[in-house]
Chain A
């Protein structure tokens, strides 16, 4: 299904940071929502800030958000805990259209439904296996998966184990 862009995306001044601070606040909020919706729709887990992509650039009207603008949008997302920088260089960030906690709960519910507690699954099975390809967490980025499992570990619902070079998890 095609992503349906909001009206702002066709509105040329949307790509220029607005001088009126009230208007700018609304503008950044619209951007925040757009980033999240876009990433959710395209299943983007890690956003590369330097990569050129349609999200921040509308070729039809020949407008693109400046790097300053992108920085501001990401700041808002970070304040909302909807992104997290992958490292200090701030070139890539995890996008949390679901929080690690939410991913954890989703995976745990799936495990319970399938009666798979007390068995060990590999990370690969959990996110790339045939059985899960219709689940929302199919294709989940490994780093986010690990964060999600850590939230489950914290409530004693899972334990991450390493065996013979591969990684797995046991659910309780």
Chain B
């Protein structure tokens, strides 16, 4: 017959449990301490690395891109917060915030004429003009601008990036600074209009195999959004896009 547990046994069990718990806490503390040590070490190394390459990161767009990619691979986003020690140390955050603010300024200043749709090329040209003459101000890559714009997403859907070609080539990218979605049809029309800054219903019908109604509908929507202008003085009605109009892009 099994002996039924007595008061003593229960007491013993409780003492053992307490001891285990104590050990567990001790172990946890150890691990935490180790982690903290490692983090501290990591941080020191990082600081050394960062301060050593600080200028390089700030001045060299290629290096900056590699640095960004390295950060991403270990799950760190140096731009996540302007208070993070990364940005405090490097001023990297500031660098992108600065660009982001200038992007907003340029987009606002030009939206009057281009309906809030600007090519990355023009945007970069205007940014460089707006920034100081110092070399490190001038060296901003398309990649930097795209990164800065992506940071603006936290402010809502105000800024979006539209790829006109299926490649990763960032020169064929449009930045939209007015809320409102451009759907796939709109993008198709923009792709066709890009080279000459204008298009016609005939061209669209021929290239996209759409019917009249669809072409007209999409063009009307682009007019409604202030992206397209109508020219009624050519042989067939022509639809123009200031965003792609070279004399405008090259103007101060």
Contact = CB atoms under 8 A, between A and B. Distances in A.
Interface of A: 7, 10-16, 18-20, 22-23, 26-27, 62-64
**A-B complex: 9 closest residue pairs judged by Cβ atoms:** A13-B229, A13-B231, A16-B232, A12-B231, A7-B248, A7-B247, A13-B240, A7-B251, A23-B226
A104 B181 CA distance: 53
Contacts of A7: 245, 247-248, 251
Nearest to B223: A20
Given A7-B247, A23-B115, A12 B238 contact: yes
Report which residue of A7, A10, A63 has the largest number of chain B beta carbons within 10 angstroms of its beta carbon: A7
Given A12-B231, A19-B230, A23-B115, 7 more contacts: A13-B231, A13-B240, A14-B229, A16-B231, A20-B223, A23-B226, A63-B233
Given A19-B230, A20-B223, A12 B240 contact: yes
15 contacts: A7-B245, A7-B248, A7-B251, A11-B247, A12-B198, A13-B229, A13-B232, A13-B238, A15-B233, A16-B231, A16-B232, A18-B223, A20-B224, A23-B229, A63-B233
A10 B231 contact: no
A5 B221 CA distance: 30
B229 A11 contact: yes
A13 B251 contact: no
Nearest to A11: B245
B112 A26 contact: yes
Interface residues of B, number: 20
A18 B230 contact: yes
Interface string B218-252: 00000110100111111000101010010110010
Contacts of B58: none
A41 B242 CA distance: 26
Contact of A11 (B223, B224, B232, B242): B242
A167 B154 CA distance: 70
Interface string B56-99: 00000000000000000000000000000000000000000000
B245 A16 contact: no
Contacts of B226: 20, 22-23
A56 B251 CA distance: 21
A112 to B, nearest CB: 38
A27 B112 CA distance: 10
Contacts of A14: 229
B201 to A, nearest CB: 15
B147 interface: no
B113 A26 contact: yes
Contacts of A11: 229, 240, 242, 245, 247-248
Nearest to B222: A20
A16 B112 contact: no
Contacts of B223: 18-20, 23
Contacts of A16: 229-233
Nearest to B198: A12
Nearest to B234: A12
Nearest to A14: B229
Nearest to B229: A13
A134 B226 CA distance: 45
Contacts of B240: 11-13
Nearest to B239: A13
Report which residue of A20, A22, A62, A64 has the largest number of chain B beta carbons within 10 angstroms of its beta carbon: A20
Report which residue of A26, A63, A64 has the largest number of chain B beta carbons within 10 angstroms of its beta carbon: A26
Contact of B229 (A10, A18, A62, A63): A18
A16 B239 CA distance: 11
Contacts of B238: 12-13
Contacts of A10: 247
Contacts of B248: 7, 11
